[in-house]
Structure 1
Amino acid sequence: MPVRLRKMIGMIIIVVLVIVYALVATTFASLLLGTSPWWVHLLYFFLTGLFWVLPAMLVIKWMEKPAKPR
């Protein structure tokens, strides 16, 4: 697969990942953490704000692989 195509596909995957992840994390928080203390909200949003990076790193690693020589 050409590098430019791989980067375009990876960019689309990352944008979709961030949107879906934000919607799921926010929905989960609003449904289950409504009556929790402020520090639980702070910890939850801090951790969920960091966890999206893990799948994004895998996509970026895939995007940056060198092209196979022909």
Structure 2
Amino acid sequence: MRLNRTPEQIFVFNHLIRWTALVIPISLSVGSLIALFLWLLDKSIHFRWDHPLAPLPATPRRHRHLLPL
């Protein structure tokens, strides 16, 4: 049995392949960067809780009243 493909179907299939080839590497890199950010955020939170006397980053004077004692 022979499949009849119209030029429009071939055109759509070509664009589907092109967009898939573009989207997959970009989504993998963005997902990896987000995962790295969340992992580093988790590590920094655990470091901060494990070392309560570690120096805090510099804060402007108007926000010093928000810091824990």
More helix by share: 1
TM-score (norm 2): 0.46
Between the two structures, name the one with larger relative contact order (CA 8 Å, sep ≥ 6): 1
Decide which structure has the larger Cα Rg and report it.
2
